[in-house]
Structure 1
């Protein structure tokens, strides 16, 4: 098994192990609450009222064709990392929060939404505790939240938006200052979840976004140049280093019982970009669709 596959497997197993029963209360089987962007979105964007035409593409093939045999709203032709973690933990697939008729929260909820970011400007999600209290009641929510795992895939859009809009954020701050704001919002959310009982967190590093097919095409259309958008990749590297340090600092603080796992998506994606055929891809530079089979 290659190092990239080993990295993915270790992350899946560790996050799933967080859900192993530790007591005899009614929610000892654990729950999975998922936050983030299109990497973890299980279909919330299908149900959003939006004029964004790019979202309509999620309801046609090849999305969903590998595993589900129909489009599900996932930006993938198969399952996503949270789907595999749920499977490892013997949980059903965690449904998108906005899915009509979804009123079962004891296994968790997927709040991830394509386009979401950590900064206020970039599509924040709903208040989880407030929504759950309406469904389950305060006492049951407290028990549920204390045994759950909280997964995050967030940050990519915060660095992407300045490149595809008229935003002046990157001109108003240095790269390190901007990254610090993004990381600060992520750790603030972790601490807020901790306050309501959350103890187990799974996070992901950013991929080398500058070499992603979308970024290559963006560079080609905007400058006529080929190759990777190095500035975008640099931001991803700065983010990944800052995220790891921030998680370590939280561990050193007085957050009793706080624990985390971090998935090195940067290394995995780099391995795929450098040797696509090893991982079942023919093309990763221009028109490839990233998918989990």
Structure 2
């Protein structure tokens, strides 16, 4: 017959059990209260960095109607109002993130390194392939990580201090990678060739995420690509008389399959990181699934003006004209952006970004789920 455990052995087992729970709580943000948010990426997340660089390639974001819905003035956001990162900050009770290039700013509660037009891969990749003519900026993900390294000493002062500070922060890795494909596809590179870029782009995102974890990040959100086959600019550039090229919602099937391929590879990459860093929470943000709801059932989300045409543009089948982009002479803006998904043919409206962010924070478009902002 097995002997009963002694009171001492029970106490030892209980001690180690409590110790394991304590370690888990220290390395996982189970409350919804983050100390700060650090954001990287492109125009889907940029709160003003591109505008502060001069916005030479796309100056229109520095004038109305950009920003008209929420801020009532242009902020450098590529939308009529807020972005996903703004809604996430609001959900967790944090201020909207200032762009890193803001002069004399206090970044203790977070900072935005994202830049409109930024790529996951460095500019040399595109220079070698003669794909630079459409690039908005030379600022890539590696530059943004360099900015983070430069700012870090002003945020925490020792390894222990940084571990504690970043362990209570939320890191948003993108969306990034979409422009790596945009610059090539919109300059006529075949989708088959651009598909060879995907493993390199995913590797760059994985490497950047790993680098942040090594510096103390514990909770990280890594978004996938949007369904580009439903994007106004792609629908315009790849307009086809062949109905078989489109799905039942009017989106281009081959382009959406491309987005799904990127997202599949990215999710495999994130699973590898979870195995390598088991004490972190690496969240895949399903931008594709969250956005496809609008294109399938726009009326259910209040998008009575449809999902595929731009609110602000210069005409054409989808109200996108590259010769008269939103904010330029020859363009016009709709009376109610909240009834549109697409804002300027490239980016989405405040209303669409709100719906995506809600799907991420409250589910079910985050895997694993994001921390509930209702807990304290």
TM-score tier (shorter): 0.7 to 0.9
Q: Is 1:257 paired with 2:309?
A: no
Tell me how far apart the structure 2 counterparts of residues 36 and 133 of structure 1 sit (CA, whole Å): 18
1:123 equivalent among 139, 147, 163:
139
TM-aligned CA deviation for residue 192 of structure 1: 0.8
Whether the aligned pair in 2 keeps the contact of 1:30 and 1:148 (CA below 8 Å) is yes
Match runs of 1:80-95 below 5 Å: 80-95=83-98
Whether the aligned pair in 2 keeps the contact of 1:76 and 1:291 (CA below 8 Å) is yes
Structure-1 residue corresponding to 2:171: 150
TM-aligned CA deviation for residue 286 of structure 1: 2.8
SS at 1:150 equivalent: strand
Structure-2 residue corresponding to 1:69: 72
1:216 equivalent among 235, 257, 260:
235
Match runs of 1:198-213 below 5 Å: 198-213=217-232
1:233 equivalent among 245, 253, 256:
256
Tell me how far apart the structure 1 counterparts of residues 29 and 75 of structure 2 sit (CA, whole Å): 27
Between 1:43-52 and 1:159-168, the stretch displaced more is 159-168
Q: Render the CA deviation track for 1:262-284: whole Å, top value 9, x for unaligned.
A: 22211222111122222222132
Whether the aligned pair in 2 keeps the contact of 1:160 and 1:232 (CA below 8 Å) is no
Whether the aligned pair in 2 keeps the contact of 1:96 and 1:110 (CA below 8 Å) is yes
Q: Measured at CA, do residues 98 and 129 of structure 1 come closer, stay the same or move farther in structure 2, by a change above 3 Å?
A: closer
Match runs of 1:1-293 below 5 Å: 18=29, 20=31, 29-52=34-57, 54=58, 56-102=59-105, 104-121=106-123, 123-124=139-140, 125-126=143-144, 127-133=146-152, 135-136=154-155, 138-139=157-158, 140-152=161-173, 153-165=175-187, 171=193, 175=195, 177-220=196-239, 228-253=251-276, 255-281=277-303, 282-288=305-311, 289=343, 290-293=348-351
SS at 2:96 equivalent: coil
Whether the aligned pair in 1 keeps the contact of 2:50 and 2:115 (CA below 8 Å) is yes
- What root-mean-square deviation, in Å, do the aligned CA atoms of Structure 1 and Structure 2 show? 2.6
**Any gaps of 5 or more consecutive residues in structure 1?**
1-16, 22-27
Q: Measured at CA, do residues 238 and 92 of structure 1 come closer, stay the same or move farther in structure 2, by a change above 3 Å?
A: same
**Any gaps of 5 or more consecutive residues in structure 2?**
1-27, 124-137, 312-342, 352-376
**Paired residues, number:** 262
TM-aligned CA deviation for residue 78 of structure 1: 2.0
TM-aligned CA deviation for residue 137 of structure 1: 5.5
Tell me how far apart the structure 2 counterparts of residues 49 and 66 of structure 1 sit (CA, whole Å): 23
Q: Measured at CA, do residues 143 and 43 of structure 1 come closer, stay the same or move farther in structure 2, by a change above 3 Å?
A: same
Please say which structure displays the higher CA radius of gyration.
Answer: 2
Q: Measured at CA, do residues 101 and 19 of structure 1 come closer, stay the same or move farther in structure 2, by a change above 3 Å?
A: farther
Structure-1 residue corresponding to 2:128: none
